[in-house]
Chain A
Amino acid sequence: MKGLAFSKRNDLEILRDPLNLIFGVGFPIVLLLLLTAIQANIPVPMFEIGHLAPGIAVFGLSFMTLFSATLIAKDRGSSFLQRLYATPLTAGDFILGYLLPILPVSMAQSVICYGAAVLLGLEVTVHLVASVLFTLPVSLLFVSLGLLCGSIFTDKQVGGVCGALLTNLTAWLSGVWFDLGLVGGAFQKIANLLPFVHAVELERAVLRGDYAGAFPHLWWVSAYAAAVTIIAVFAFLRQMKRQ
């Protein structure tokens, strides 16, 4: 109950920030519209809606890191957490309060992204629902990255690290905009060692109903999500002790 009040506050803080809505919902939809328009004039298999929509859905989720990290870093910097640390809230309440409320927001973002894709011609199948559900481990990965970055960076640093670096890493190393095989070499090897391309391939496989093909990618994403969550929890506890 105590933790729930804190979770609700975090949800409201994120949803009421107009910049979050612009970047979280508006930006991915604009990209979807733009690339679909390009595809209509110059057909490229990469930008076919069934191939593009899962990539944009994953790219959109990278903004959850920015939202989560900004909220935590601002709370740390503004004495708001100091006030709450002197209440009966436990460390678990804080960690769950920062992690859990953003997961439904991520789901809602994926629903909106796939909904826009349907309007642009994506076929409605049962796999579409599964695609939304399979964004959950991807969301956990990005939200945990937010907890980690928010625990170690200031709100200004978060803007650079999560707003610029992470979103670019997600964009370049995920295979959303170009086939990584075209670059090949070390670039492709590094991309394959990171979770972003696996998150996109997971979504693409589920959307086309290839669940057997989805699972290797699911393990990659889940392992990264679990590892980042554990590291983020330690980082948060460490800064809590320091404060």
Chain B
Amino acid sequence: MDAIKTVDLTKKYKDLTAVDALNLTVRQGELLSLLGVNGAGKTTTIKMLTGLTRPTSGDAFLNGKSVLTDSAAVKAMIAVSPQETAVAPHLTVRENLELMAGVHGFSKFEARDKVAELGGRFGLGELADKRAGKLSGGWQRRLSIAMALVSGPQILFLDEPTLGLDVLARGELWELIRALKGSMTVILTTHYMEEAEALSDRVAIMKSGRLLLADAPAEIKRRAGTDKFDQAFVRIVKGGQP
């Protein structure tokens, strides 16, 4: 079964069509990056897939569950790490993780085990009692992703996970994201071409609400006739088709 399958997924805001009859399939365990210039429809697509916005028409199925008719089941299997660092600033690192365990209905013991596991995996153990608002940008982003993983999601949405981070912090986060591959389906939106190329199994390029193509980075470069991914992206977006 596909992890995600959209069928003519469309979102209109009055006269503006933000997403236009999107048909996209994502395999289980795959890391797919959504690329596009501002206004391409990436964020609206993510919002529809995560149940934050209702499609105007069409539907999307996450592990077979419709976002229209089975949103509770969809929400139980997904997690979102938003673009901005969405942490509770006055709570400690541990309390932020416990909060996410709590809202997913974990018992105290389950929450404690999960917090310990993620604290170790993300190197947050020593910072467990530090207020989240006092962490550096890179560590807040780590915490933000760790919070998304507390529920053990089958599908993880990472919205611009390394935006604004320095090269070192970005490299460290890349390693953490790479480690997730295979264990869950990851949808990543980013403006960094090198990030999409380095991390993705496939890249989906959107423009003006439409999907231009979805393929492996190497294949996208081949089709665009260049060995540079950013050039390939520009050619495809400017040309409308590869």
Contact = CB atoms under 8 A, between A and B. Distances in A.
A84 B144 CA distance: 12
Contact of B103 (A6, A16, A17, A78): A6
Interface residues of A, number: 24
A83 B52 contact: no
B51 A86 contact: yes
A97 to B, nearest CB: 9
B191 interface: no
Which DSSP category, helix, strand, loop or mixed, fits chain A's interface?
A: helix
Interface in A1-19: 1-2, 4-6, 8-9, 12-13, 16-17
From A16, A80, A85, A87, name the one whose CB has the most chain B CB atoms within 10 angstroms. A87
B90 A87 contact: no
A4 to B, nearest CB: 7
B105 A88 contact: yes
A79 B151 CA distance: 18
Nearest to A83: B86
Contacts of A80: 86-88
Interface in B48-80: 50-52, 72, 75-76, 78-80
B102 interface: yes
Contacts of B52: 82, 85-86, 243
A182 B134 CA distance: 51
A93 B100 CA distance: 14
A81 B101 CA distance: 16
A13 B88 contact: yes
Interface in B105-144: 105, 131
A93 B72 CA distance: 14
Contacts of B87: 80
Contacts, number: 79
A13 B90 contact: yes
Interface stretch (B15-23, B91-99, B165-173, B209-217): B91-99
B32 interface: no
Contact of A5 (B75, B90, B98): B98
Contacts of B50: 86
A2 B99 CA distance: 9
A89 interface: yes
Contacts of A89: 103
B75 A88 contact: yes
B86 A12 contact: no
Contacts of A82: 52, 80, 82, 86
The 9 A-B pairs of least Cβ separation, nearest first, read A5-B102, A79-B82, A16-B90, A79-B84, A79-B86, A86-B80, A83-B86, A80-B86, A86-B50
Given A9-B99, A17-B90, A83-B147, 15 more contacts: A2-B104, A5-B99, A5-B101, A5-B102, A5-B103, A12-B91, A79-B85, A82-B52, A82-B86, A83-B82, A85-B52, A86-B75, A88-B76, A88-B103, A88-B105
Interface of B: 50-52, 72, 75-76, 78-91, 95, 98-105, 131, 147-148, 151, 157
30 contacts: A2-B102, A2-B103, A2-B104, A4-B102, A5-B98, A6-B99, A8-B102, A9-B88, A9-B95, A12-B90, A12-B91, A13-B91, A17-B90, A78-B84, A78-B86, A79-B83, A79-B86, A80-B86, A80-B88, A82-B52, A83-B82, A83-B86, A83-B147, A85-B51, A86-B50, A86-B78, A86-B79, A87-B100, A87-B104, A88-B76
